[in-house]
Amino acid sequence: MANSSCRNFPIQRMRYVFALLCGTCFLVSSCGSSTKSVELAQQSVEQFHSQLDSEHFTALYAASDEKLHQAATETDFVKLLDAVHRKLGNVQRSNLRNTGVAWFAGQGATVTLVYETKFTQGTGMEKFVWHIKDNSASLYGYHIRGCPTFS
Protein backbone atom coordinates (compact mmCIF):
# COMPACT_ATOMS: atom_id res chain seq x y z
CA MET A 1 0.00 0.00 0.00
CA ALA A 2 1.41 3.38 -1.00
CA ASN A 3 2.09 6.08 1.51
CA SER A 4 -0.55 8.85 1.34
CA SER A 5 2.05 11.62 1.77
CA CYS A 6 3.79 10.44 -1.41
CA ARG A 7 0.56 10.82 -3.38
CA ASN A 8 0.24 14.45 -2.22
CA PHE A 9 3.81 15.32 -3.25
CA PRO A 10 2.90 16.51 -6.79
CA ILE A 11 0.10 18.70 -5.36
CA GLN A 12 2.43 20.23 -2.75
CA ARG A 13 5.04 20.84 -5.42
CA MET A 14 2.47 22.58 -7.67
CA ARG A 15 1.39 24.82 -4.79
CA TYR A 16 5.01 25.75 -4.14
CA VAL A 17 5.62 26.54 -7.82
CA PHE A 18 2.39 28.55 -8.00
CA ALA A 19 3.31 30.58 -4.89
CA LEU A 20 6.80 31.21 -6.28
CA LEU A 21 5.35 32.33 -9.62
CA CYS A 22 2.85 34.67 -7.94
CA GLY A 23 5.60 36.18 -5.79
CA THR A 24 7.82 36.76 -8.81
CA CYS A 25 4.97 38.43 -10.73
CA PHE A 26 4.28 40.69 -7.75
CA LEU A 27 7.94 41.74 -7.50
CA VAL A 28 8.21 42.41 -11.23
CA SER A 29 5.02 44.49 -11.26
CA SER A 30 6.17 46.41 -8.18
CA CYS A 31 9.44 47.29 -9.88
CA GLY A 32 7.56 48.69 -12.85
CA SER A 33 5.35 50.73 -10.57
CA SER A 34 8.40 51.96 -8.66
CA THR A 35 10.00 53.11 -11.89
CA LYS A 36 6.85 54.99 -12.90
CA SER A 37 6.57 56.55 -9.45
CA VAL A 38 10.19 57.73 -9.52
CA GLU A 39 9.75 59.15 -13.04
CA LEU A 40 6.63 61.00 -11.92
CA ALA A 41 8.47 62.39 -8.90
CA GLN A 42 11.39 63.50 -11.09
CA GLN A 43 9.00 65.35 -13.40
CA SER A 44 7.46 66.99 -10.34
CA VAL A 45 10.91 68.19 -9.22
CA GLU A 46 11.38 69.85 -12.61
CA GLN A 47 8.02 71.57 -12.23
CA PHE A 48 8.91 72.59 -8.65
CA HIS A 49 12.16 74.18 -9.86
CA SER A 50 10.32 76.02 -12.64
CA GLN A 51 7.81 77.42 -10.16
CA LEU A 52 10.61 78.27 -7.70
CA ASP A 53 12.43 80.23 -10.41
CA SER A 54 9.16 82.00 -11.33
CA GLU A 55 8.51 82.76 -7.64
CA HIS A 56 5.16 80.92 -7.65
CA PHE A 57 5.60 79.94 -4.01
CA THR A 58 1.92 80.13 -3.09
CA ALA A 59 1.01 77.82 -6.00
CA LEU A 60 3.60 75.30 -4.80
CA TYR A 61 2.05 75.28 -1.35
CA ALA A 62 -1.50 75.02 -2.72
CA ALA A 63 -0.55 71.96 -4.81
CA SER A 64 1.28 70.25 -1.95
CA ASP A 65 -0.05 67.34 0.08
CA GLU A 66 -2.20 67.71 3.18
CA LYS A 67 0.68 66.27 5.25
CA LEU A 68 2.83 69.24 4.26
CA HIS A 69 -0.04 71.60 5.14
CA GLN A 70 -0.16 70.01 8.60
CA ALA A 71 3.59 70.44 9.05
CA ALA A 72 3.95 74.02 7.80
CA THR A 73 1.74 77.03 7.33
CA GLU A 74 1.52 78.68 3.93
CA THR A 75 3.28 81.76 5.34
CA ASP A 76 6.22 79.71 6.66
CA PHE A 77 6.54 77.68 3.46
CA VAL A 78 6.45 80.80 1.27
CA LYS A 79 9.09 82.46 3.51
CA LEU A 80 11.34 79.42 3.15
CA LEU A 81 11.06 79.33 -0.64
CA ASP A 82 11.52 83.10 -0.89
CA ALA A 83 14.70 82.87 1.19
CA VAL A 84 16.03 79.97 -0.92
CA HIS A 85 15.36 81.86 -4.15
CA ARG A 86 16.71 85.18 -2.83
CA LYS A 87 19.94 83.66 -1.46
CA LEU A 88 20.69 81.02 -4.09
CA GLY A 89 19.00 82.37 -7.23
CA ASN A 90 17.61 80.39 -10.15
CA VAL A 91 18.26 76.71 -10.71
CA GLN A 92 21.04 76.03 -13.21
CA ARG A 93 21.14 72.21 -13.06
CA SER A 94 20.25 69.36 -10.74
CA ASN A 95 21.93 65.99 -10.38
CA LEU A 96 19.95 63.17 -8.79
CA ARG A 97 22.01 61.61 -5.99
CA ASN A 98 19.62 59.24 -4.23
CA THR A 99 16.15 57.72 -4.56
CA GLY A 100 13.91 55.81 -2.21
CA VAL A 101 10.43 54.35 -2.63
CA ALA A 102 8.09 53.17 0.13
CA TRP A 103 4.67 51.58 -0.50
CA PHE A 104 1.70 51.84 1.84
CA ALA A 105 -1.32 49.60 1.27
CA GLY A 106 -4.23 51.62 -0.05
CA GLN A 107 -2.36 54.92 0.30
CA GLY A 108 0.02 54.83 -2.65
CA ALA A 109 3.74 55.40 -2.35
CA THR A 110 6.20 57.95 -1.13
CA VAL A 111 9.20 58.71 -3.30
CA THR A 112 12.20 60.46 -1.77
CA LEU A 113 14.64 62.13 -4.16
CA VAL A 114 17.88 63.84 -3.15
CA TYR A 115 19.44 66.26 -5.62
CA GLU A 116 22.65 68.22 -5.68
CA THR A 117 21.45 71.45 -7.28
CA LYS A 118 23.53 74.26 -8.75
CA PHE A 119 21.86 77.65 -8.45
CA THR A 120 23.15 80.91 -9.92
CA GLN A 121 24.53 81.98 -6.53
CA GLY A 122 25.47 78.71 -4.87
CA THR A 123 24.74 75.02 -4.47
CA GLY A 124 22.29 73.08 -2.35
CA MET A 125 21.38 69.54 -1.41
CA GLU A 126 17.63 69.27 -1.90
CA LYS A 127 15.48 66.50 -0.48
CA PHE A 128 12.00 66.08 -1.93
CA VAL A 129 9.41 63.68 -0.56
CA TRP A 130 6.48 63.07 -2.92
CA HIS A 131 3.20 61.26 -2.27
CA ILE A 132 2.32 59.24 -5.37
CA LYS A 133 -1.29 58.16 -5.74
CA ASP A 134 -3.61 57.74 -8.72
CA ASN A 135 -0.79 58.64 -11.15
CA SER A 136 -0.16 62.05 -9.59
CA ALA A 137 2.48 63.44 -7.25
CA SER A 138 1.96 65.87 -4.39
CA LEU A 139 4.73 67.31 -2.26
CA TYR A 140 4.99 65.78 1.24
CA GLY A 141 8.19 67.53 2.23
CA TYR A 142 11.04 69.75 1.03
CA HIS A 143 14.37 70.28 2.77
CA ILE A 144 17.46 72.10 1.54
CA ARG A 145 20.97 72.59 2.78
CA GLY A 146 22.46 75.41 0.74
CA CYS A 147 25.62 77.38 0.54
CA PRO A 148 25.59 80.75 -1.19
CA THR A 149 28.80 81.73 -2.95
CA PHE A 150 30.12 85.24 -2.78
CA SER A 151 32.44 86.78 -5.33
User: How would you class 89 by CB atoms within 10 Å of its CB: exposed for 0-12, middle for 13-18, buried for 19 or more?
Assistant: middle
Distance of CA 90 to the CA centre of its chain: 22
Distance of CA 34 to the CA centre of its chain: 10
The per-residue pLDDT for range 7-49, each reduced to its tens digit, is 655 655 555 544 444 443 343 334 447 899 999 999 999 999 9
Sheet containing strand 91-104, edge to edge, reads: 91-104, 108-119, 122-133, 136-148
Task: Write down the pLDDT at residue 57.
Answer: 98
In three-state secondary structure terms, 115 is: strand
Mind giving me the DSSP string for 57-123? HHHHHHHS-HHHHHHS-HHHHHHHHHHHHHHH-SEEEEEEEEEEEEEETTTEEEEEEEEEEEETTEE
Q: What is the mean pLDDT of the chain?
A: 84
Q: Is the pTM of this model over 0.85?
A: no
The per-residue pLDDT for range 96-116, each reduced to its tens digit, is 999 999 988 778 899 999 999
**Phi/psi at 95 (5° precision):** -120, 120
Nearest to 48, CA basis, from 24, 28, 68: 68
CA angle (60 as vertex; 58, 61 as ends), nearest 5: 65
